[in-house]
Structure 1
């Protein structure tokens, strides 16, 4: 089972920042999940929310700021005593600092199709530039994004992020030619994992911060867990960190 840092290591370091990803690397973990959004000047940046308010000293929608303006913000707000400034980074900068990267889940949030199309083309270009064909999985709960990615870059692997089961998540994953089912661990069952594996899907579960839950999922045969507390998981689990 692979251990994946959620937004870096969300409860241990500032999420979705260069500082947070450096913390993850220092643990010896080179598997990461992060969030991709679009800046005002059409650059791919790493941020979970639609606004910069929660994690940075800025205020407003991410789409109202250029990439340079986002980088100049201090995105360590949830860690008030963090020793150094770390802004909202360009995705390209995250990738350029991480030659040891083993796998990366690039989650794209719901947006209008114009934005999704721009993000899809940008992701395809970065996968090509950084030679991530065997490392990157573009994930989303937005089926429009999955369809756009399949059209724009069919060779780039995709994963369906499943939380609320309005439809069978396995069916959705297959319909969009996904390689991964990325599922809320509370919704995960041994039968679903077995069926996913029979269908050729890898199963990644989120967000797993409890050791007992992690052990249970590992015993059930999940391929990876996504966690906010990788240091804790490393102490108690037999996992593939590197």
Structure 2
């Protein structure tokens, strides 16, 4: 089962920074999830909020600042707001998969261009709450995996993914049940719930048979998983 670090190792490092990505790699995760937006001059930058105050020492809206202005800010511990291409390069060098969440619409073509330029088509999942954007991504680049994010459990969640031509569903935990997971599996759709941060939630996710989990504390969750795997092996040996 894959462990995906939500905004990097954000429990220990500033979220959505190169430092957070490196720390997640050190913890042994399989993939890192990041969020992307446009700057004023339509450069793709890695930041979650549409405003700067929570994660940087800046003030105002991300979309009202140029890349040059954003790069002068401190995103925590001296880190800068990264460009997408920087994170793609780092992930490639580290051998990490990358989940790229689109926080805005109309980013599809530029996102695909940057992923292709980095030769990371087989190592990324592009995801969003904007499900129509995922359909467009698939039209532009059929080889790139896409995922729909859902914060509530609709009546037909698997149909939503199929309609968006998505390969993955990212449902908010605990809005998850065995019937949903089984149905998705039959359709070849992977399930990665978010955010799984405790031993109890991890055990439940494993029991349900999900393909992976998204976590805010990847280092801790990796330890939980290793201990659970060791315990299971000891039980089998007995």
- TM-score (structure 2 length as normaliser): 0.90
Once the two structures are TM-superposed, the CA of residue 166 in structure 1 deviates from its matched residue by: 4.7
For 1:234 and 1:155, the matched residues in 2 are separated by 29
Match of 2:52 in 1: 52
Q: Which shows bigger deviation, 21-30 or 61-70?
A: 21-30
Runs of 4+ displaced beyond 3 Å: none
Q: Which gives a bigger RCO, structure 1 or 2 (Cα 8 Å, sep 6+)?
A: 1
Distance 1:167 1:146, change over 3 A: farther
What is the RMSD computed on CA atoms of the aligned residues?
1.7
For the Cα contact (< 8 Å) 2:88–2:115, is it kept in 1?
no
For the Cα contact (< 8 Å) 2:193–2:213, is it kept in 1?
yes
Once the two structures are TM-superposed, the CA of residue 127 in structure 1 deviates from its matched residue by: 1.6
For the Cα contact (< 8 Å) 1:133–1:155, is it kept in 2?
yes
Task: Report the 3-state secondary structure (helix = DSSP H, G, I; strand = E; otherwise coil) of the residue aligned with 1:105.
Answer: strand
Once the two structures are TM-superposed, the CA of residue 216 in structure 1 deviates from its matched residue by: 0.9
Task: Report the 3-state secondary structure (helix = DSSP H, G, I; strand = E; otherwise coil) of the residue aligned with 1:159.
Answer: strand
For the Cα contact (< 8 Å) 2:100–2:126, is it kept in 1?
yes
1:34 aligns with 2:34: yes
Counterpart selection for 1:96 from 89, 94, 105: 89
Counterpart selection for 1:203 from 191, 194, 217: 191
For 2:129 and 2:33, the matched residues in 1 are separated by 14
Counterpart selection for 1:150 from 132, 138, 143: 138
For the Cα contact (< 8 Å) 1:205–1:225, is it kept in 2?
yes
What count of residue pairs does the alignment treat as equivalent?
227
Once the two structures are TM-superposed, the CA of residue 121 in structure 1 deviates from its matched residue by: 1.1
| CA offset digits 1:48-92 (Å, max 9, x no partner) | 11111110000011011112221221111xxxxxxx400111010
For the Cα contact (< 8 Å) 2:88–2:120, is it kept in 1?
no
Equivalent residue runs for 1:65-104 within 5 Å: 65-76=65-76, 84-98=77-91, 99-104=93-98
Structure 1: gaps (5+ residues): 77-83
| CA offset digits 1:186-237 (Å, max 9, x no partner) | 1111111111000110101101111111111012111110111111112111
Counterpart selection for 1:169 from 141, 147, 157: 157
Structure 2: gaps (5+ residues): 230-238
1:123 aligns with 2:116: no
Q: Which has the higher helix share?
A: 2
For 1:133 and 1:97, the matched residues in 2 are separated by 15
Match of 1:5 in 2: 5
In terms of Rg, which structure is larger? 2
- TM-score (structure 1 length as normaliser): 0.88
| CA offset digits 1:90-135 (Å, max 9, x no partner) | 01011222312332111112x4xxxx22x21121112211221211
For 1:166 and 1:180, the matched residues in 2 are separated by 16
Once the two structures are TM-superposed, the CA of residue 167 in structure 1 deviates from its matched residue by: 5.2
